[in-house]
Chains A and B, each alone.
Chain A
């Protein structure tokens, strides 16, 4: 399906959603108006928020006008508000001829960005997101000052995507901190940021960042349309968003990328992708995503090109091992004994002599045990985690073999498969391989290598049919594009990566200048600084 027809469809759906929303809360305009009496306003807030105890009301008098401050304890920066009162409102310089409301507004400049609110909607939104509202008696408007300031986690090292040479900071749960981390890395006016609120109840803040002029306008528009289409009560993490904006729901493969590393997200934005930052999650989504991207690790770009090329090919190889490792063992021992070198075949047969199960059951027992161990180790408190690894090592490694449940070769196969699976840089892709492995084991049991090959064929068809925001998932490989091979199997030297990926960005393709290849100047009479001799 083309992007265009999808967009049309989304538009229609959006219209339906809007209708739905209007039916949900039919608010009359009269109810939206702020009242003149500040006491009435206070009682309205108390009424609507159910007299919640974290609401703080504080009355004050200015130029004989009574007023009140409203904010939520814990969300607003109390120190800021107190300083404001002590420094500006307490000194008696107020001229009674001036409008008290205007004086307040002028003085409040010291607090942060300021707005004059006239409607209740604005008031509630601001209070609930940490702003402070000033009501003055006799005015049917309110001052809305940004005083957001809550306890947040400090920027720490990334916990899921480690790098040896790269920067050591990771995103945090706070949206503003995350956007600032990206801004600090791209100081270009073309880095555009748009925000919206998603979630009817949670009103989660979401920001879209992209490089204007490099990102494909169609994709940016499509991302926005898909985000606007979301109509749920709450968005708790970027994982929610990911599942709601995918092209195809029925697949195990991730069709959007997520990362907690600002350097990764920055490089994606520079390639023309769109970043979606969700408040409350340290993982930022980037889209569109292609298959090969999940095998690119940040260190590929920080180390030399030959080394990173070798390592990348190793990663792709290990992805295949993770998928078909146990399947090949099953196929080899049950169907194709003649393909194994004779001495090795004899060794395997001798080891398997005491094993009471067929190869498939043997492999299944080990694989399932391993998956259970891994799952248990993942969520255990750290103090107990040690125990699991000891039990795992003993049970899987030694006891199972000695008890005659599995053969030693099987232990090796399971270990290699597991380690190969860990070497995929992206967890989302590694977990897909885990699931497919069992499918392949079944096929190998029924039809040996032929089954495995049909399984791989099936997988290839599936991968080729996927799309991410209209971009074919296997993009620079199938459909093949020679100019975009700079960062696929072979990572070209940095000075040779001249263009942005054509399929993602539109226009402004060149990213590296001419003659960037390093080396000593060949001609001594060039305009460079001349040598001593």
Chain B
């Protein structure tokens, strides 16, 4: 494990940036139509409960990351195998986000630029960051946090002043009952983005004050969740439920509608700035978790040597996981949540917690007996 220490405020910022990351860009909870915000808040509540599982696991093994305590809980070889699966999962997620991100640019602004050029420039930047270590990533986060917030406030003001907000689009609430909302919650918003906190099981040992884990993580998740919900509300209120559902990137469509004084218009740059920053943090934390996990399982002394090869794996995976964007989206909506997110984010950690609970109780009893 890298010898690094992260302050509580830095961890908080990393969580917020990670959670918001791509969730704000893509249409989240579009199946619930105008009730997407309810699905997101439900997802947040579920995500907080889910994080309790990770938190209890962390409180049993405070000094080591997920890949290490997997081996402590399930034994050396099963643990290593599971850890390896987690690494693959992290790499796959990083590749998915990189693809999302590249497709967004390739379909909207850079229509004649090949996808691989866009993706490879991004991954080179991220490799550089991974090479510099988690402390540097956290500091870059601090640097961009204020910029993102200023931009978000400016954006909301502009949308409001342009007269785009039609709150009546949000009505009627629960038009089709709870069913589509619950379906969206279980199939989408619970696992993406809130279940993705599983990445932080690899990063929590870096926090310099273990007591603050609870407040930092819950606070970060709640802030991010509220931000995402606000964004979705604004998207629905300015586009209407139909356009919101059909649009690939609702936020970009909303920003494209801003028109003020015949001068402030086409603010796609703002969107792109957010895109680069958000995509950067999301990919680099998944990437970092994969690198740290690999170094941990395969006992690499210098994990920086891993940033280049794993970066290339992510780049090529991002090109090959789907032949077209439609295929990529379909996989993302129907395959990945059920076959990847649920097992890795919910089922395995839960089983681990149960085993860890009994193991530690046994240990405690033994300690008491002697």
Which A residues are within 8 Å of any B CB, using their own CB?
A: 335-336, 338-339, 341, 446-451, 453-454, 457-458, 460-462, 464-465, 472, 474, 477-480
Q: Which residue of A lies closest to B132 (CB)?
A: A465
Q: Which residue of B lies closest to A473 (CB)?
A: B139
Contact: B266 with A338, CB < 8 Å? Answer: yes
Q: Which residue of A lies closest to B9 (CB)?
A: A480
Given contacts A454-B122, A454-B125, contact A448 B110 (CB under 8 A): yes
Q: Which stretch (B21-29, B140-148, B155-163) binds chain A?
A: B140-148
Closest CB in chain A relative to B126 CB, distance in Å: 9
Contact: A480 with B142, CB < 8 Å? Answer: yes
Q: Which residue of B lies closest to A464 (CB)?
A: B139
Closest CB in chain A relative to B113 CB, distance in Å: 7
With a cutoff of 8 Å between Cβ atoms, the chain A residues found around residue B263 in the complex are 341
Beyond A446-B117, A462-B128, A478-B142, 12 extra complex contacts between A and B, CB < 8 Å: A341-B265, A446-B121, A450-B121, A453-B272, A453-B276, A454-B121, A454-B122, A454-B125, A458-B128, A461-B136, A464-B139, A477-B143
Selected from B118, B136, B276, the residue in CB contact (under 8 A) with A464 is B136
B280 at the interface (CB under 8 A from A): yes
**How many angstroms from the CA of A460 to the CA of B128 in the assembled complex?**
11
Contact: A450 with B266, CB < 8 Å? Answer: no
With a cutoff of 8 Å between Cβ atoms, the chain A residues found around residue B136 in the complex are 461, 464-465
With a cutoff of 8 Å between Cβ atoms, the chain A residues found around residue B277 in the complex are 457
Of A448, A449, A477, A480, the most chain B CB neighbours within 10 A belong to: A480
Offer 18 A-B interface pairs, CB within 8 angstroms, sorted by A. Answer: A335-B109, A339-B266, A341-B263, A447-B110, A447-B121, A448-B109, A450-B118, A450-B272, A450-B276, A454-B121, A454-B125, A460-B140, A461-B128, A461-B129, A461-B140, A478-B143, A479-B138, A479-B139
With a cutoff of 8 Å between Cβ atoms, the chain A residues found around residue B105 in the complex are 450
Selected from A339, A447, A458, A460, the residue in CB contact (under 8 A) with B268 is A339
With a cutoff of 8 Å between Cβ atoms, the chain B residues found around residue A446 in the complex are 117, 121
Contact: B128 with A451, CB < 8 Å? Answer: no
**How many angstroms from the CA of A458 to the CA of B143 in the assembled complex?**
13
Contact: A464 with B125, CB < 8 Å? Answer: no
B266-287: which have CB < 8 Å to A?
266, 268-269, 272-273, 276-277, 280
With a cutoff of 8 Å between Cβ atoms, the chain A residues found around residue B110 in the complex are 335, 447-448, 450
Contact: B125 with A447, CB < 8 Å? Answer: no
**How many angstroms from the CA of A448 to the CA of B121 in the assembled complex?**
12
Closest CB in chain A relative to B270 CB, distance in Å: 10
Selected from B117, B142, B262, B265, the residue in CB contact (under 8 A) with A447 is B117
**How many angstroms from the CA of A446 to the CA of B110 in the assembled complex?**
11
Contact: A474 with B266, CB < 8 Å? Answer: no
**How many angstroms from the CA of A461 to the CA of B277 in the assembled complex?**
12
With a cutoff of 8 Å between Cβ atoms, the chain A residues found around residue B10 in the complex are 479
Q: Which residue of A lies closest to B280 (CB)?
A: A457
**How many angstroms from the CA of A462 to the CA of B132 in the assembled complex?**
8
Return the CB mask of B88-111 against A: 1 if under 8 Å, else 0. 000000000000000001000110
With a cutoff of 8 Å between Cβ atoms, the chain B residues found around residue A335 in the complex are 109-110
Q: Main SS of chain A's interface residues? A: helix
Given contacts A339-B266, A479-B139, contact A453 B273 (CB under 8 A): yes
Q: Which residue of B lies closest to A443 (CB)?
A: B121
Given contacts A457-B277, A457-B280, contact A449 B139 (CB under 8 A): no
Contact: A474 with B272, CB < 8 Å? Answer: no
With a cutoff of 8 Å between Cβ atoms, the chain B residues found around residue A450 in the complex are 105, 109-110, 118, 121, 272, 276
With a cutoff of 8 Å between Cβ atoms, the chain A residues found around residue B334 in the complex are none
Selected from A336, A451, A464, A478, the residue in CB contact (under 8 A) with B121 is A451
Selected from A447, A465, A478, the residue in CB contact (under 8 A) with B118 is A447
**A-B pairs, 8 with minimum CB distance:** A478-B139, A464-B139, A478-B142, A465-B132, A453-B276, A478-B143, A465-B136, A339-B266
**How many angstroms from the CA of A479 to the CA of B125 in the assembled complex?**
21
Selected from A447, A457, A480, the residue in CB contact (under 8 A) with B113 is A447
**How many angstroms from the CA of A440 to the CA of B263 in the assembled complex?**
27
With a cutoff of 8 Å between Cβ atoms, the chain B residues found around residue A464 in the complex are 132, 136, 139-140, 143
Contact: B122 with A479, CB < 8 Å? Answer: no
Contact: A449 with B269, CB < 8 Å? Answer: yes
Contact: B142 with A479, CB < 8 Å? Answer: yes
**How many angstroms from the CA of A335 to the CA of B110 in the assembled complex?**
8
Given contacts A339-B269, A450-B109, A479-B10, contact A472 B139 (CB under 8 A): yes
B7 at the interface (CB under 8 A from A): yes
Contact: A457 with B121, CB < 8 Å? Answer: no
Q: Which residue of B lies closest to A461 (CB)?
A: B129
**How many angstroms from the CA of A461 to the CA of B143 in the assembled complex?**
10
Of B9, B143, B265, B266, the most chain A CB neighbours within 10 A belong to: B143
Closest CB in chain B relative to A350 CB, distance in Å: 20
With a cutoff of 8 Å between Cβ atoms, the chain B residues found around residue A465 in the complex are 132-133, 136
With a cutoff of 8 Å between Cβ atoms, the chain A residues found around residue B7 in the complex are 479
Contact: B125 with A458, CB < 8 Å? Answer: yes
With a cutoff of 8 Å between Cβ atoms, the chain B residues found around residue A338 in the complex are 266
B168-184: which have CB < 8 Å to A?
none
Q: Which residue of A lies closest to B3 (CB)?
A: A2
Contact: A474 with B143, CB < 8 Å? Answer: yes
Q: Which residue of B lies closest to A343 (CB)?
A: B262
With a cutoff of 8 Å between Cβ atoms, the chain A residues found around residue B142 in the complex are 477-480
With a cutoff of 8 Å between Cβ atoms, the chain B residues found around residue A457 in the complex are 125, 140, 276-277, 280
B301-351: which have CB < 8 Å to A?
none
With a cutoff of 8 Å between Cβ atoms, the chain B residues found around residue A336 in the complex are 109, 268-269
**How many angstroms from the CA of A450 to the CA of B271 in the assembled complex?**
11
Closest CB in chain A relative to B260 CB, distance in Å: 12
Contact: A461 with B132, CB < 8 Å? Answer: yes
Contact: A449 with B272, CB < 8 Å? Answer: yes
**How many angstroms from the CA of A53 to the CA of B260 in the assembled complex?**
82
Closest CB in chain A relative to B302 CB, distance in Å: 13
**How many angstroms from the CA of A480 to the CA of B138 in the assembled complex?**
11
Closest CB in chain B relative to A298 CB, distance in Å: 27
With a cutoff of 8 Å between Cβ atoms, the chain B residues found around residue A339 in the complex are 266, 268-269
